[in-house]
A and B are shown apart, each in its own frame.
Chain A
Amino acid sequence: MHISEGILSTQILITGWAGTCAGVALGLKKTSDYKIVRTALLASTFFLASLVNVRIGPGSTHLSFIAPMGLILGWGAFPAIFVALLLQAILFHFGGLLVLGANTFAMASPALVVYLIFGKSIRESQNKISVMTLSFIAGALAVIMGASIAGAFLGLTDKNFLTAIKLLLAAHIPLALIEGAATAFLITWLKKAAPEFLK
């Protein structure tokens, strides 16, 4: 899902940075002291998840754990994803530094959206099946939203990317299902084993 350096237009890069700066500032403000180590743990998971490849047909893609980031960290997902993507750009050469704002926005805003939509219901629900279902939907939706935002950035830069956008969305449907399943199992387990993580 990383957009490489040199593809997006200046306007989109600036828009991405504006959204990311606002998100990171609010995220830092809303992250309480006791959540710092938790944020670091999930930032590390996100940082390493890109190295775990999932083969889908002739190609492959990697896990992102966008939804668990949002459901566990809330607003804190923005600074966590920003730091993880910054280190991925420097150490792995994924994405780039100029496009970091757009990439952070494309991945952190779905995390925040699923937190705002599903966070409260998942925390308050006592039914295991409903927690699992909601987490699955959150996980799948976050991936589709992330791909859609990345696709929108590409489409607004150049209309020639429209075919690429269709392929991008199609390629992320299997990943959405995998991430949905991973999110469902992780959140259900956390709700049982360490419910304080979701507070």
Chain B
Amino acid sequence: MKKNFLSRTLNSPPHPPEFRARLFLFIAMLFFISENPGFAHGVGYREISLKAVPLEFFYSTGEKMSYCETKIFSPSDSKFAAQSGRTDEQGRFSFIPDASGEWRAIVRDNEGHQCEAKINITEEFLKSENEIENVEQNHENDAPEGFELFIRALLGVSLIFNFALLIKSHAHK
């Protein structure tokens, strides 16, 4: 008659003493590791005074890009983000560069808007302890505001009507 696993185990001959000693040591070791979480990774913290690059993201309307997904790309790796997270309520995000070159910060909201900031970090910036004055920020893609926005809106409307009148006058000829 075929015996099942439980009956085979219960009716098996006793293990030799060396095997039982090794099994005991193995279980004791597992118990020791599991009872002491610090055995594998200890944790701690200290305050440091490294210089960060604080950025603020906003819409052209002036509204802050709050709690938006943010990724920071180092000059050496444009594929995998060196740091990721979300902007705070004020649309701010900071990172600490550890290499010179062009760092990129990409912020996306849930409506398909994306803002990309390019920050040139110089060797002097990494060495100096002063305020962040060596950071050259690229504002090429910043949306216009205030009076500039008004002028551009006026220019746009003017262009549309001039274009339409041009077509109309050609159609009449």
Contacts and interface: CB of A to CB of B under 8 A. Distances in A.
A4 B113 CA distance: 5
Interface residues of A, number: 37
Given A40-B160, A150-B112, 9 more contacts: A4-B113, A6-B116, A36-B171, A37-B168, A44-B157, A47-B153, A51-B153, A60-B63, A171-B111
30 contacts: A3-B112, A4-B112, A4-B113, A4-B114, A5-B114, A6-B116, A7-B108, A37-B168, A39-B164, A40-B160, A43-B164, A44-B156, A48-B156, A48-B157, A51-B149, A53-B61, A53-B63, A60-B61, A83-B163, A84-B160, A91-B152, A91-B153, A91-B155, A92-B143, A92-B152, A93-B142, A93-B143, A163-B110, A164-B112, A167-B111
A35 to B, nearest CB: 10
A84 B165 CA distance: 16
A87 B160 CA distance: 9
Most chain B beta-carbon contacts within 10 A, residue among A40, A83, A94, A164: A40
Interface of A: 1-7, 33, 36-37, 39-40, 43-44, 47-48, 51, 53, 58-61, 83-84, 87-88, 91-94, 150, 154, 163-164, 167-168, 171
Contact of B164 (A37, A154, A168): A37
Nearest to A37: B164
B142 A7 contact: no
Interface of B: 60-61, 63, 66, 108, 110-116, 141-144, 149, 152-153, 155-157, 159-161, 163-165, 167-168, 171-172
Contacts of A43: 160, 164
Given A4-B114, A94-B60, A150-B112, A40 B163 contact: yes
Nearest to B63: A60
Given A47-B160, A92-B144, A33 B168 contact: yes
B110 A36 contact: no
A38 B110 CA distance: 34
A47 B159 CA distance: 11
A93 B60 contact: yes
A91 B145 CA distance: 11
Nearest to A168: B111
Contacts of B66: 58
Contacts of A51: 61, 149, 153
A157 to B, nearest CB: 10
Given A7-B108, A51-B153, A171-B111, A87 B159 contact: yes
A47 B60 CA distance: 15
A61 B111 CA distance: 10
B167 A83 contact: no
Instruction: Give the 5 A-B CB pairs with smallest separation, nearest first.
Output: A40-B164, A4-B114, A3-B112, A167-B110, A91-B152
Contacts of B153: 47-48, 51, 91-92
Contacts of A59: 63
Nearest to A40: B164
Nearest to A4: B114
